[in-house]
Structure 1
């Protein structure tokens, strides 16, 4: 069951709360959808789901993560850091929805004030009927700061690179121990 936070819980920087859980994505944003096969079977599904919902996949991809909760839950604040030293950018987010279901596990977070982008991003692990395990990143965003506007088309390229890197890390983390 997908759980969505209530309207008054967070000061999000966009009006389309929860849109990554449905299609089509809202107009007026750059859209991203990247899907990676990460394994096969229940053990791979559980390992990948845990890696995604505990932010381990983000950390394994080189991001720093500070969260109010050990695992994704609606309403939890998550600060994601990208970059190094003086070039580190902190991106404040709020978990918008979660899915902890027999064949789907994941979450989405939305941008808060101070985030370089405006929008939402979801991270979902799914097990198909044949036992294949897939990881999908879905996002819609647009620049929210002068430097992301200045960077122009480099930002969607970097977002796609980050989604691919996350997919590779989830694949590595989905290998049952």
Structure 2
């Protein structure tokens, strides 16, 4: 790990950092989804800020509690979906961040109590042609009885959520 990597919690998987350095580990479902967000430095900056300050997650309709206002290694995050007794919470910890001239984002890994085990990254990039892209990369497998019961539906829902995040980010960056 380097200076932008620091893990303080008890992660539930071994391949910490694989969404950053690859390859994604065997034995997991893999997700790689890319969405074009727009064009130009202003769109890149707005999208990068929305990703790293949780605005994208909150704007997608997910509940989110974080131990800090910005994604930094060691920050605890709990993402939740559903209502009342049907609410599912997913505790995570930010394991790496990137803040470069043309690349911004972070990844979090699963903690005990998460319905899955694995890692997910959210990265915004400004390409040489001025286009701005958002990529979700993840590897996961069921950790709770209800995610195992969901079987092949769970990866479909994860892909749907990645698309929703991309649409949300495009809307935020265009505003």
Which TM-score applies when normalising by structure 2?
0.97
Instruction: Tell me, yes or no, if the aligned pair for 1:49 and 1:125 is still in contact at 8 Å.
Output: yes
Other-structure match for 1:100:
99
1:70-125 CA-partner distances (Å, limit 9, x unpaired): 01000000011111222110100000000011000000000000000000000000
Q: How does 1:18-167 map to 2 (within 5 A)?
A: 18-167=17-166
SS of match in other structure, 2:125: strand
CA RMSD of aligned residues (A): 1.2
> What is the rounded CA distance, in whole Å, between the counterparts of 1:85 and 1:37 in structure 2?
35
> What is the rounded CA distance, in whole Å, between the counterparts of 1:17 and 1:51 in structure 2?
24
Asked whether 1:13 is paired with 2:17, we answer: no
Instruction: Note the C-alpha offset of 1:129.
Output: 0.6
Instruction: Note the C-alpha offset of 1:2.
Output: 7.5
Structure 2 gap ranges (5+):
none
> What is the rounded CA distance, in whole Å, between the counterparts of 1:96 and 1:68 in structure 2?
14
Instruction: Tell me, yes or no, if the aligned pair for 1:106 and 1:122 is still in contact at 8 Å.
Output: yes
Which TM-score applies when normalising by structure 1?
0.96
Return closer, same or farther for 1:48/1:39 CA change in 2, 3 Å cut-off. Answer: same
Structure 1 gap ranges (5+):
none
SS of match in other structure, 1:71: coil
> What is the rounded CA distance, in whole Å, between the counterparts of 2:119 and 2:22 in structure 1?
13
